[in-house]
Amino acid sequence: MGLDFTVIPGYLDIIFLGCLWTIAITVASALLSFFGGIVFAVIALYAPLLIRLPFRLFEWVFMGTPLLLQLFLIYFGLVQIGVDLPAFVAGVIGLGLHFAVYNSELIQTAILSVDKGQMEAARTVGLSRGQALRKVVVPQAVRAVIPPIGNNMIALLKDSALVSVIGVSELTLSAQRAIGATYRPFEFYMLAAAFYYVINLCMEWVQRRIERRIALSR
């Protein structure tokens, strides 16, 4: 049997396309999880009780159930109530909401750690509560949690492989299709791992750049 990496060049177009889909779903889900996390944090801390309670239930569901099950519910389950989402959209929503809940927990802690005098000072200069949150409190809180949120984004990249089960032709599924044609699993899984690692390194580089700029702006 042995290893035969000469089969790889003939399927590089499939792997590269899968890599692009992985990047697309990671970027879209990361944006949703970041801004969703901010919205969820503000709801959890400042919304009226009638809104906070359903949100807490929503948060409990997403933190207490596997991501794979959530993807199945969004893609296969919503069809039964008339919501038929494309696989890519379902994957972005599933990944984005799952990590938005975890980002929300980080942002809530950071918001509570901001000196209460910041809010009071903003109110004294004429800002409303919402404006003070948006322009003063939340930006300071987000700066403080960039490193852990960046770690969540890297975890999101790795978990993006799960969207292959709902038919998104991302990197893992593309590798599986190449394996189905060649019966060379080791070679193509190793190639997929190398692509994931390179994307991971790029994300870490971006994270370090953002952290450096935040540190200089303080």
State how far the Cα of 13 lies from the Cα of 194, in Å rounded to an integer: 15
Q: What is the mean pLDDT of residues 24-37?
A: 96
| Residue that is written with structure tokens 């990197």 in the block | 171
Show the domain range for 68. Answer: 5-217
Q: What per-residue confidence (pLDDT) applies to 2?
A: 78
**What pTM did the predictor assign?**
0.91
The pLDDT of 61-77, averaged and rounded, is 94
How does residue 128 score in pLDDT terms, banded at 50, 70 and 90? confident
**Domain count across the chain:** 1
Whether 138 has a pLDDT exceeding 70, the answer reads: yes
Specify whether the CB–CB gap between 132 and 119 falls below 8 A. Answer: yes
**Confidence class for position 168, pLDDT limits 50, 70, 90:** very high
pLDDT digits (tens, 9 = 90+) for 96-113: 999 999 999 999 999 998
The pLDDT, as a whole number, for residue 218 is: 63
Q: Please give the Cα distance from 28 to 74 (Å, whole number).
A: 17
pLDDT at 88: 96
CATH code assigned at 212: 1.10.3720.10
